[in-house]
Amino acid sequence: MLNNLIKEKAEYFLMFAYEKVNAVNCYGYTPKKCDSIEYQKAKKRALRMTKPYNIDIYNFIKNEL
| 29 falls within a domain | no
**Looking at the 3D structure of the chain, how many domains does it have?**
1
Q: What is the mean pLDDT of residues 51-60?
A: 94
pTM metric for this prediction: 0.91
Q: What is the mean pLDDT of residues 47-64?
A: 94
25, pLDDT greater than 90: yes
| 25 falls within a domain | no
39, pLDDT greater than 80: yes
| 21 falls within a domain | no
| 27 falls within a domain | no
Q: What is the mean pLDDT of residues 49-59?
A: 94
The per-residue DSSP string of 4-65 comes to HHHHHHHHHHHHHHHHHHHT---TTPPPPP---HHHHHHHHHHHHHHTTT-HHHHHHHHHH-
| 54 falls within a domain | yes
